[in-house]
């Protein structure tokens, strides 16, 4: 009897080690062909599940409706057919796609008491997340450049930010985001061995999926630094440079009224930049410090859910043109 229990415990230990460790080359284990990943639940309390699903559904509807109203207001009102509002409407559509990538799946999982997501679904969610997230980064950079040209080179603004140039900047941002997403997906597809199926977040975050792969550390490090540099460091550097030139130019203006007017045109954009990058950096620091997947998932809600919801309010509350356009739009609808 003792020998039997000893053999059983040995088999169990070997099974658990095969799940948590990467398979060797002589014993391949391809989890991508017939497996699914497990996401993190925000709460294990069954009584909180209906409340959470209701809250996230309301937040999602508010975010989609708010960004859609901004897009419609800019599209319909001829007074808002300027480069600044053109990029703002594009940012609103990117925010709709960004929040739609993660929240609907999370609501379905909460309602069905399931944490599972298929491999194909995870790869699709990860690709869309990179596309719309990178679009947000690049559009914020382009909007900073637009403010830089408007304040530092106002006489050349109409020529520099022509409709053709704006369309090219938007197209390049989308193609660059698509290229980065496809590159990341191709790299993940080559990782056929995984050391686990537990993703430490409520969605398929690219870095979390990459950490589960059994590839060599050098490859994972190169991919993570490359994606981080392209989607984070370069856009943020462009924003910093644009605002450095803006501040330097405005401080040379003798009139305090003109200084206030110049800074007020950048207030909404700067608020969104601080909110988006601040929460993203906070999530990165929290994931580096904390080992709790649930805490990491809660922190990730800030830049994946809260930020897209607040963007329309930030621009509409600080912009009279948007407010008047929204009043006319809602008046026509009523």
pLDDT (tens digit, 9 = 90+) per residue, 180-206?
Answer: 888 877 777 776 666 667 777 888 888
Please indicate whether residue 110 or residue 196 has the higher confidence score (pLDDT). Answer: 110
Coil, strand or helix at 120: helix
Cα atoms in the Cβ-side hemisphere of radius 13 Å centred on 282: 15
Helix 49-76 vs helix 320-333: crossing angle, to nearest 10? 100
CB 129 within 8 A of CB 101: yes
Q: Which band of pLDDT confidence, cut at 50, 70 and 90, is reported for residue 135? A: very high
CB 74 within 8 A of CB 86: yes
Query: Which range is least confidently modeled, 195-199, 276-280, 323-327?
Result: 195-199
Structure-token pair, residue 318? 């600080």
Distance, in Å, from the CA atom of 126 to the CA atom of 120, rounded to the nearest integer, reads 10
Structure-token pair, residue 124? 């699709």
CB 102 within 8 A of CB 301: no
Residue 173 pLDDT > 70, yes or no? Answer: yes
Enumerate domains of the chain plus CATH numbers.
35-333 (1.20.1070.10)
Q: Which band of pLDDT confidence, cut at 50, 70 and 90, is reported for residue 35? A: low
Residue 5 pLDDT > 50, yes or no? Answer: no
Cβ contacts of 125 within 8 Å, gap of 6 or more: 101, 102, 105, 117, 203, 204
Query: What is the number of other CB atoms lying within 10 angstroms of the CB of residue 184?
Result: 25
Distance, in Å, from the CA atom of 255 to the CA atom of 3, rounded to the nearest integer, reads 90
CB 132 within 8 A of CB 178: no
pLDDT in tens, 207-227: 777 777 776 566 666 766 776
pLDDT in tens, 290-309: 667 777 777 788 878 888 88
């Amino acid at each position: 009897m003792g020998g039997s229990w000893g053999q059983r415990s040995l088999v169990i230990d070997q099974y658990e080690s095969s799940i948590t460790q990467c398979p060797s080359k002589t014993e391949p284990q391809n989890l991508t062909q017939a497996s699914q990943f497990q996401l993190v639940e925000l709460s294990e309390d069954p009584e909180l599940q209906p409340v959470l699903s209701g809250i996230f559904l309301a937040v999602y509807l508010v975010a989609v409706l708010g960004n859609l109203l901004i897009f419609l207001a800019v599209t319909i009102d001829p007074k808002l057919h300027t480069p600044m509002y053109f990029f703002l409407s594009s940012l609103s559509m990117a925010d709709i796609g960004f929040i739609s990538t993660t929240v609907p799946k999370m609501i379905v999982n909460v309602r069905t008491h399931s944490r599972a997501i298929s491999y194909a679904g995870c790869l699709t969610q990860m690709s869309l997340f990179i596309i719309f997230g990178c679009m947000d980064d690049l559009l914020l950079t382009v909007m900073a450049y637009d403010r830089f040209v408007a304040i530092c080179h106002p006489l050349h603004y109409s020529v520099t930010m022509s409709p053709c140039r704006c369309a090219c900047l938007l197209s390049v941002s989308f193609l660059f985001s698509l290229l980065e997403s496809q590159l990341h997906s191709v790299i993940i597809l080559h990782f056929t061995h995984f050391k686990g199926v537990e993703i430490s977040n409520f969605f398929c975050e690219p870095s979390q999926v990459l950490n589960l792969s059994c590839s060599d550390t050098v490859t994972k490090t190169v991919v993570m630094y490359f994606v981080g540099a392209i989607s984070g460091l370069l856009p943020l550097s462009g924003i910093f440079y644009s605002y450095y030139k803006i501040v330097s130019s405005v401080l040379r203006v003798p009139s305090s009224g003109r200084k206030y007017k110049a800074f007020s045109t950048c207030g909404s954009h700067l608020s969104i930049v601080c909110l988006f990058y601040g929460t993203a950096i906070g999530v990165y620091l929290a994931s580096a410090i904390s080992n709790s997947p649930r805490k990491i998932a809660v922190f990730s809600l800030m830049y994946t859910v809260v930020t897209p919801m607040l963007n329309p309010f930030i621009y509409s509350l600080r912009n009279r043109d948007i407010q008047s356009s929204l009043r006319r739009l809602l008046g026509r609808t009523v």
